[in-house]
């Protein structure tokens, strides 16, 4: 199934609320929103399916929705090193847990912590609850290193991610996503994650 929609792209301004309720950060930047993600996929001829749902802010809320492929839903962690020089998007199967200390030891990164809400908006042009690999298309300098759980590559090879908006989940072939991110210029690493739940 391919959902056909066309929304023109362009420069837009957006506001994002930060730590202090009275403060807003306003930025003029290219932002690929939900409809533009669909348009982008259509232009590439990517086959995909969509689950529309209410706003979700964590895996528990997402998994309570009526999902097409619940075993293929993704969890996304946007992290940075202690010097704020390197940023990483870690995407794993929804039921898995990521130990950041173990991850940084295995991948020889600096000390890792979660990126701030401001980092999410400045780099991915997203709100904190909408982090997704599609946000890498808003990463103008392709500075974010993408780490993808290798279990998404195994059959059926489907991944479910937000289309830069946490009111929907897009299901597409993992190989297509990898190709899209690589073409954008971000580094992609497929990695094996020890399941901490077992």
Task: Read off the pLDDT of residues 142-177 as tens digits, 9 standing for 90 and up.
Answer: 999 999 999 999 999 999 999 999 899 999 999 999
Report in angstroms the alpha-carbon separations of 187 from 25, 124, 136.
28, 15, 10
Q: Is residue 19 part of a domain?
A: no
Q: Is residue 173 part of a domain?
A: yes
Interatomic CA distance for residues 150 and 120, integer angstroms: 24
Interatomic CA distance for residues 35 and 51, integer angstroms: 14
Range of the domain at 185: 32-191
Q: What is the dihedral of CA 124, 1, 44, 149, to 10 degrees?
A: 50
Interatomic CA distance for residues 138 and 125, integer angstroms: 6
Q: Is residue 10 part of a domain?
A: no
Interatomic CA distance for residues 178 and 133, integer angstroms: 9
Per residue in 128-142, pLDDT tens? 789 999 999 999 999
Q: How many domains would you assign to the chain?
A: 1
Of 192, 171, 194, the closest CA to residue 53 belongs to 171
Query: For the chain, what percent of residues have pLDDT higher than 70?
Result: 82
Q: Is residue 22 part of a domain?
A: no
Q: Is residue 9 part of a domain?
A: no
Which CATH number belongs to the domain containing residue 81 in this structure?
A: 3.90.960.10
Q: Is residue 154 part of a domain?
A: yes
Q: How confident is the model at residue 77 (pLDDT cuts 50, 70, 90)?
A: very high
Lowest model confidence (mean pLDDT) among 8-22, 70-84, 121-135? 8-22
């Amino acid at each position: 199934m391919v959902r056909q929609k066309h929304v023109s792209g362009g420069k837009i301004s957006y506001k994002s609320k930060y730590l202090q309720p009275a403060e807003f950060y306003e930025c003029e930047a290219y932002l690929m929103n939900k409809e533009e993600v669909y348009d982008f996929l259509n232009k590439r001829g990517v086959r995909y399916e969509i689950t529309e749902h209410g706003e979700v802010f964590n895996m528990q809320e997402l998994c309570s929705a009526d999902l097409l492929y619940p075993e293929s839903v993704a969890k996304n962690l946007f992290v940075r090193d202690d010097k704020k020089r390197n940023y990483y998007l870690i995407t794993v199967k929804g039921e898995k847990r990521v130990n950041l200390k173990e991850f940084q030891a295995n991948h020889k990164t600096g000390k890792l912590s979660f990126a701030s809400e401001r980092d999410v908006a400045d780099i991915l042009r997203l709100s904190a609850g909408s982090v997704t690999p599609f946000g890498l298309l808003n990463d103008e300098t392709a500075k974010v290193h993408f780490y993808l759980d290798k279990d998404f590559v195994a059959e059926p090879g489907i991944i479910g991610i937000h289309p830069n908006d946490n009111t929907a989940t897009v299901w597409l072939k993992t190989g297509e996503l990898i190709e899209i991110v690589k073409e954008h210029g971000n580094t992609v690493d497929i990695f094996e994650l020890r399941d901490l739940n077992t």
